[in-house]
Amino acid sequence: MGWTCQHDHQGYCKLLSKPCVPGINGCILKKSDGIVFSSGTLESDKKQEDEQNSEIDFAKLAREN
């Protein structure tokens, strides 16, 4: 599925006033659940997913409970 960000203007983020890098700090997409950014290769995406699953954010768990 394809889409465009409302703040993207030819690769420049109008919200953050810097080049567009989806998911960086301040990006509205970072706050969204279920959005997965691909690196372009399945192997590196799987490796990144495994690393994320192995890390537990205890501060986040405490805030949620």
Whether residue 42 is contained in a domain is answered as yes
pLDDT tens figures, 10-37 = 889 998 999 988 878 888 776 666 666 6
Q: Report the amino acid identity of residue 43.
A: E
State the pTM of this model.
0.45
Whether residue 1 is contained in a domain is answered as no
Cα 9 to Cα 2, 3, 6, 16, distances in angstroms: 16, 13, 8, 12
Whether residue 3 is contained in a domain is answered as no
Structural domains of the chain, count: 1
Whether residue 14 is contained in a domain is answered as yes
Residues 6+ apart with CB under 8 A from 30: 23, 24
Whether residue 58 is contained in a domain is answered as yes
What is the per-residue pLDDT for 1? 46
Provide the pLDDT confidence category of residue 2 given band limits of 50, 70 and 90: low
From CA 57, how far away is CA 29, in angstroms rounded? 19
Q: What is the mean pLDDT of the chain?
A: 76
Q: Which residues form the domain of 55?
A: 8-64
What is the per-residue pLDDT for 55? 66
Whether residue 35 is contained in a domain is answered as yes
What is the per-residue pLDDT for 28? 79
